[in-house]
Structure 1
Amino acid sequence: MNRAAFTVRLPWAARVLALLAALVVTAVAAQSAGSAAMRDRWNAEEVALLASMRLKEAGPRRTDTSNAYEQRTDAAAFGRALFEDTRLSRNGQVSCASCHSADKQFQDGRPLGQGVGTGKRRTMPVAGAMHSPFLFWDGRKDSAWSQALGPLEDAAEHGGNRVRFVRLVQEQYRAQYQQVFGPLPDLAALPADASPNGTDAERAAWNALAPGKRDAVNRVFANMGKSIAAFERTISVGESRFDRYAQATVSGDARAQDVLSQQEVRGLRLFLGKGQCVTCHNGPLMTDHAFHNTGVPPLDRAKPDRGRADGVKKLLADEFNCLGRYSDAKPGQCGELQFLAADDAAQLAAFRTPSLRNVAERAPYMHAGQFASLREVVQHYAESPKAVLGHSELARPGEQHAERRPIQLSPADVADLAAFLQTLTGPVVVAR
């Protein structure tokens, strides 16, 4: 499936297209009405594009049909308790909040995630994740609840195993669990530790369990993820100075355009124009939710990360995906999963486009923290290096490229673009 087809099915895409059509007409009237007073002049097409990028155009967070409990307040309360519980780790010191810290925009500020060990990729933020159809840098999960399960058993993150987790729920959270999901299944005679993803001994213990016992453990484990996702759904990012500027420009409010400096406006023009940033960072969350190889240098050139090429295979094989038996969705509601291709060469070393919302607060950058500052990120795109693995989508001088042209930015342009990215910061809010 090509990227264009993928993008059109996103919930906000139809709204954006409708906005573009309507605002091309209305923006002319708004601009002309205040044209004499407007500090910054934009043409109708540009105004329509700015309108489509306002946070309010994201609409309500997408409903995850695979999680029937995501909007329940009791599930969110249970999920928050699990999110903050360090007992959900092998050493009793790591919780979800360890890497997704509330005082750090629900991420950790590290180049690589740090749990019971050191991970291979950067921690992604939680705020806004509910809008995305795929999670993790490689998209190996297709729901927030399924995503929450992965780190729990990952050797470098929580390093635990699902039977021990289920025992903890049974002993410490029975009442909260049963309020949401009903009676716990019969979990008598379980071994102390067992998991299909653990140590050799844990895998052997898992394989020795009767199929019905494994299913019962998996059901409770999946419900833990659904509760954590219900809590994460309450975390969102608020409007930024950019949103206020875009609104001022759309409505013809000359005075309110002062919310951005002239340098920041120059950066915005570059973002929409010759910087080509909007090619991938579009829509109200400033992401196309797709996967791209842009030649970001791997940490280890001898062992480059394969990114989406491996992630899509893991997703299709995941027992906790939308089509799995622990999903609450009907097969017809899992369209994105059914259209995925596991052999798309363009996915090699491609990584998910992150939202640029609050990007200035999330250094370092890229999937493994390769760049320390926004200027370094912008400079990377200006240089457009060849990819170590796969083929970069960025055009280089002298290359024939069907979709892009070489990005040519002066040092002043780089500074202006980095300044604009600072305007995308808004409050992170946890609903009560």
Structure 2
Amino acid sequence: MARAIAAVAAVAVTAVAAQAANRANLRDPWSAQEVATLASMRLKEAGPRPADPSNAYEQRAEAAALGRALFTDKRLSRNGEVACASCHAADKQFQDGRQFGEGLGQGKRRTMPVMGAAHAPFLFWDGRKDSLWSQALGPFEDAAEHGGNRVRLARLVQAHYGDSYQAVFGPMPALGKLPDDASPAGTDAERAAWATMTQGSREAVNRVFANMGKAIAAFERKVSYGESRFDRYAEATAAGDARGQEVLSPREVRGLRLFLGKGQCATCHNGPLLTDHAFHNTGVPPIARAVPDRGRADGVRKLLQDEFNCLGPYSDARPEQCGELQFLATDDPGQLAAFRTPGLRNVAERAPYMHAGQFSTLEQVVQHYATSPKAVTGHSELAQPGERHADRQAIRLSAADIQDLAAFLRTLTGPVVQAGPVREPSY
């Protein structure tokens, strides 16, 4: 037995030694620490999407089928012309390519893609939602997006999706006699109508509304990123495959070295989805300097007041499963004008950039970080030239560096993978 164990160990040591020898002969040599970092950035390291304890239905096929139908149903808007898929279009990386999201009106921020969202602890640019299902609810009642109201939405589900709803969530609550239009988040008239409803009626409507979000989340979990050229390069480098490294050009590799090194990009854009899922103020200029966007500072307060958060009455989670929500700080000055770090996968296909589409090209984005302007609101985390900074150094990039870094970012593009096709439902 001892000899067998020793033999296995010897084979393992030999394999590691051979791999190290192969890496020594690579076109692009990397240190052991750099190889480990590259390996940690491979898409496969993301693993399965974490289960959301607040949504007990997210992994059910029937829920995903219902969610896909709701996702593309334009009847769930005030004018019958806006669906989730209007801004999260399957042929546009599940976003819209516009500077601002546009539904019934124009929003104030960029549309974020669906892919990778199931891995994020907080959603939207300001993190005002803490689950995919809760995130899906906000646009339904937003005046600039769907412009709907809770009672009308519940009635639409009852009229058109009764059987599908029951197959997932059980019998629909008895809605009884209700106003045609009522919501705590709607117009003055809709809020007044909501106030006339009994507590039981409000809870029944809220339950249907919450379940709409849970079904949509089940569908969105099935939309994901596919592997990119970068993933193949990282795999080849970790395996000591010299030929496999040829998938990236020398210029793209120079950009990768900048990404990991003096560009300091990996400080926030790390891991398999190339995001730390955190919120940062990096001095991105506001669209309206007179009325700057406060970002996470306002988002965290909205999240804590949201009846559809993890601790709310429509969550399926136990309180101890909502740790992220229970330890949020509301007085952190670093949250002012801080925005969620977007994942960089497929970033080349998602111009314009930043939370309000302030930059139209990747080169402009990189130039912003090289310039490191002071923040109009709050304090930028980026170090200014000549400034003593506790955590960072000033980012110094030449014009050639900026081009190389942008070239690397384009290697992060891969396919968008769907578990099923997204089609307009047949009514």
TM-score normalised by length of structure 1: 0.93
Which of 219, 229, 232 is the aligned partner of 1:244?
A: 232
Aligned AA (1:255): R
Q: Write the mapping of 1:219-368 to structure 2, written as runs, cut at 5 A.
A: 219-368=207-356
Give the C-alpha shift of residue 32 in structure 1: 3.4
Q: Where in structure 2 are there 5+ consecutive unaligned residues?
A: 1-12, 421-427
Contact kept? 2:23, 2:237, Cα under 8 Å: no
How far off its partner does 1:160 sit? Answer: 0.5
Counterpart amino acid of residue 115 in structure 1: G
Relative to structure 1, the CA distance from residue 30 to residue 233 in structure 2 (aligned partners, 3 Å threshold; closer, same or farther) is farther
Instruction: Quote the offset at 1:375 in angstroms.
Output: 0.2
Relative to structure 1, the CA distance from residue 205 to residue 373 in structure 2 (aligned partners, 3 Å threshold; closer, same or farther) is same
Task: Determine whether 1:393 maps to 2:381.
Answer: yes
Q: Within 2, Cα distance between the matches of 1:28 and 1:296?
A: 45
Contact 1:27 1:44 in 2 (8 A): no
Deviation at 1:62, TM superposition (A): 1.0
Matches within 5 A, 1:105-120: 105-120=93-108
Q: Which residue pairs with 2:29 in the alignment?
A: 41
- Which of 201, 204, 208 pairs up with 2:196? 208
CA contact (8 A) 1:295 1:388 kept: yes
| Residue 99 of structure 1: how far off its partner (Å) | 0.1
State which structure, 1 or 2, has the greater radius of gyration over its C-alpha atoms.
2
**Correspondence 1:170 to 2:158:** yes
Higher mean displacement: 85-94 or 34-43:
34-43
Name the amino acid aligned to 1:106: F
What is the CA–CA distance in structure 1 between the aligned matches of 2:14 and 2:193, rounded to whole Å?
66
Q: Deviations over 1:247-290 (max 9, x none)?
A: 00000000000000000000000000000000000000000000
1:35 Cα offset (Å): 4.2
Query: Which SS does the other structure have where 1:415 is aligned?
Result: helix
Q: Which amino acid aligns with 2:270?
A: N
- Quote the residue 1:4 is aligned against: none
**Aligned-partner Cα distance in 1 for 2:302–2:43:** 32
* Offset, 1:88: 0.7
The verdict on how the C-alpha distance between 1:271 and 1:28 changes in structure 2, with shifts beyond 3 A counting, is farther
SS at structure 2 position matched to 1:236? strand
What is the identity, as a one-letter code, of the residue corresponding to 2:312? G
Displacement over 6 Å in runs of 4+: 25-28
Q: Aligned residue for 2:112? A: 124
SS of corresponding position for 1:136? coil
Q: 1:144 maps to what in 2?
A: 132
Deviation at 1:28, TM superposition (A): 8.0
- Secondary structure at the aligned position of 1:34 is classed as helix
Matches within 5 A, 1:8-19: none
> Using the alignment, how far apart are the partners of 1:280 and 1:377 within structure 2?
15
- Matching residue of 2:51: 63
Tell me whether 1:424 sits opposite 2:424 in the alignment.
Answer: no
How far does residue 36 in structure 1 lie from its aligned partner after superposition? 5.2
Deviations 1:43-63 (A, max 9, x none): 001000001100100010011
SS in 1 for 2:74: coil
User: CA 1:174–1:180 in structure 2 vs 1: closer, same or farther (change >3 Å)?
Assistant: same
Alignment map for 1:361-380 (pairs within 5 Å):
361-380=349-368
User: Which consecutive unaligned segments of at least 5 residues does structure 1 have?
Assistant: 1-24
The separation in 2 between residues aligned to 1:81 and 1:190, in whole angstroms, is 25
For 1:35 and 1:402, the matched residues in 2 are separated by 35
3-state SS of 1:336 partner: helix
Using the TM superposition, give the Cα deviation of residue 389 of structure 1 relative to its aligned residue in structure 2, in angstroms: 0.1
Residues 122 and 368 of structure 1 are in contact (CA less than 8 Å); yes or no, is this contact kept in structure 2?
Answer: yes
Name the CA distance, whole Å, in 2 between partners of 1:360 and 1:80: 26
Structure 2: distance between partners of 1:55 and 1:402: 31
The correspondence for 1:158, drawn from 131, 139, 146, is: 146
Cα 1:291–1:28 shift into 2, 3 Å:
farther
Is the contact made by 1:27 and 1:250 (CA closer than 8 Å) also made in structure 2? no
- The answer to whether the aligner puts 1:93 opposite 2:81 as a matched pair is yes
Q: Partner letter of residue 186 of structure 1?
A: A
For residues 197-231 of structure 1, the C-alpha deviation after alignment (integer angstroms, 9 at most, x for no partner) is: 10000000001100010000000000000000000
User: Are residues 270 and 30 of structure 1, via their aligned partners in 2, closer, same or farther at CA, if it must alter by over 3 Å?
Assistant: farther
For the aligned residues, what is the CA RMSD? 1.2
Q: 1:341: how far off?
A: 0.6
SS in 1 for 2:355: coil
Cα distance change of structure 1 residues 411 and 31 upon mapping to structure 2, 3 Å threshold: farther
Letter in 2 for 1:34: N
2:23 and 2:241 in contact (8 A); partners too: no
Structure 2 match to 1:13 = none
Match of 1:192 in 2: 180
**Is contact 2:58-2:64 (8 Å) kept?**
yes
Specify the SS of the correspondent of 2:75: coil
2:74 is matched by which residue type in structure 1?
A: T
Partner of 1:166, secondary structure, is helix
Alpha-carbon spacing, 1:26–1:222, altered in 2? closer, same or farther (3 Å): farther
Give the C-alpha shift of residue 359 in structure 1.
Answer: 0.3
Amino acid across the alignment from 2:337? A
Structure-1 separation of matches of 2:331 and 2:136:
26
Cα shift at 1:193: 0.1
Summarize deviations over 1:348-390 as a string: whole Å, max 9, x none.
Answer: 0000000001000000000000000000000000000000000
Matched, 1:217 2:205: yes
* Contact 2:183–2:194 (CA under 8 A) maintained in structure 1: yes
Do the aligned partners of residues 29 and 216 (structure 1) sit closer, same or farther apart at CA in structure 2, a change above 3 Å counting? same
Q: CA deviation at 1:37?
A: 3.1
Give the secondary structure class of the aligned counterpart of 1:63.
coil
- The one-letter amino acid of 1:372's match is S
Q: Structure 1 residues 36 and 138, CA, compared in 2 at 3 Å: closer, same or farther? A: closer
Q: Is the 8 A contact 1:30 1:250 kept in 2?
A: no
CA–CA distance in 2 between the matches of 1:30 and 1:98?
52
Partner Cα separation in structure 2 for residue 354 and residue 422 of structure 1: 15
